[in-house]
Amino acid sequence: MLRGRGSRRAPNVLCVAQRTGSLALSRLSGWPLLTDPATPLHIREIMSADTINLTADPNRVPHPAVTGDKPPLEILLCAPRGFCAGVVRAIDVVERALAIYGAPVYVRHEIVHNKYVVETLKRKGAVFVRELDEVPDSNAPVIFSAHGVAKTVPQNADARGLTTIDATCPLVTKVHREAEIHHKRGRHVLLVGHSGHPEVVGTMGQLPKGSITLVEDIDQIEALNPPAEQALAWVTQTTLSIDDTKHIVEALKAKFPAIHGPHKDDICYATTNRQEAVKEVAPRVDALIVVGSSNSSNSQRLREVAERAGCPITRLVLRAEEIDWDAFKDIRRLGLTAGASAPEVLVEEIIDAFAARFDVTVDQVSVTVEDMSFPLPRELRSEAAE
């Protein structure tokens, strides 16, 4: 187990010069007490204090006891990692709705792509459904997930008289609005993204059929042949690989020089920051683990980024029980990060598992500090709910 969870020790600081845009490496002792009864229950179950602040605080980097009886292992902990502002908001939406309306509260699709979070919310009274026809006629609210939904979904809910709450990430909503504006200006929209992902389904569902085309890779661009008089615009899914998207957009601009793009990149700040941290760590380690669910797009992209950065062993795991220990038996340096929908408690679990087999020291590599936050939907804010 990790040392220092029952108390806060004076940190042994190597370097804590964390500022936006700079790189910092820190080794400190002390770790938050997630089992402290004074900590709110939902925080203890889903997230650590790190994720409440939307950044991995270097004052809370774990420092397990070194015994000398096990092989040494240095863990380079990527920062930022874990929950982003949109995920925190979405989870808070479910928590707040349960507090106001009581159980059950229905959620269309997974609120975020993390099975641990979903199962925790299920135990509290959230009922997850694939489609609205699974929701009975009642006063119980229906929450739309952080990934966003097509326009027909809230329209169908309104037609049934259902109470709805929209937990769509504001950065996804930004992409929806961009697509709508381009459509109103007579432009055909090209959406760079992955087919079947809920965010892509939701974005394509903002416009009439035939008004938006999905582009998944550069090869598809060659086959695009819109009418010569048709103006074009591009938007992207928010959780893509930065590098892959850059190449696709460059190819779009090369083929369609007059194409319009967003004023600000659609790939969200959290996706960008987590990928940059992995790029910094991956070349330095023998293996890298991404904590996250297999259906999490941003988690999968982190694993791919690590591979491309030259890390010889990369794995995406949700829990410590999924680790293939044979693959890690000879490593001496491990990189560790978490997707934007993965709670910090699962990162701790992975560190605990390695500390049981290795003499572990933990260094944190930080590329920026995040301070983004989003307000709850108006109907769930304290003054509106009372």
- Condensed to tens digits (0 to 9), the pLDDT of residues 205-252 reads 999 999 999 999 999 999 998 878 899 999 999 999 999 999 999 999
Task: Supply 301's token pair.
Answer: 């992209």
What does the pLDDT read at residue 176? 98
The predicted-structure confidence for 249-306, as pLDDT tens digits, reads as follows 999 999 999 999 998 889 999 999 999 999 999 999 999 999 999 999 999 999 999 9
The model's confidence at residue 69, banded by pLDDT at 50, 70 and 90, is: confident
Query: What domains does the chain contain, in order, with CATH numbers?
Result: 24-84+269-366 (3.40.1010.20), 86-169 (3.40.50.11270), 171-255 (3.40.1010.20)
Average pLDDT over residues 329-354: 97
d(CA 360, CA 352): 9
Return all residues near 264 (Cβ < 8 A) that are at least 6 apart.
none
Q: Catalytic residue at 199? A: yes
The predicted-structure confidence for 131-164, as pLDDT tens digits, reads as follows 999 999 999 999 999 999 999 999 999 999 999 9
d(CA 169, CA 85): 8
Strand partners, 31: none
The model's confidence at residue 18, banded by pLDDT at 50, 70 and 90, is: very low
Task: Supply 263's token pair.
Answer: 């004023």
* Model confidence at 375: pLDDT above 70: yes
Average pLDDT over residues 3-17: 28
Predicted model pTM? 0.82
What does the pLDDT read at residue 330? 95
- Which residue is catalytic, options 110, 199, 344, 348? 199
What does the pLDDT read at residue 226? 85
Tokens 């774990």 correspond to what residue? 62
More confident residue, 79 or 15: 79
* CB-count exposure of residue 51 (10 Å: 0-12, 13-18, 19+): buried
The predicted-structure confidence for 115-130, as pLDDT tens digits, reads as follows 999 999 999 999 999 9
d(CA 37, CA 28): 25
Pair 191, 150: CB distance under 8 Å = no
Report angle CA 197, 199, 201 to the nearest 5 degrees.
70
Task: Supply 181's token pair.
Answer: 């504006």
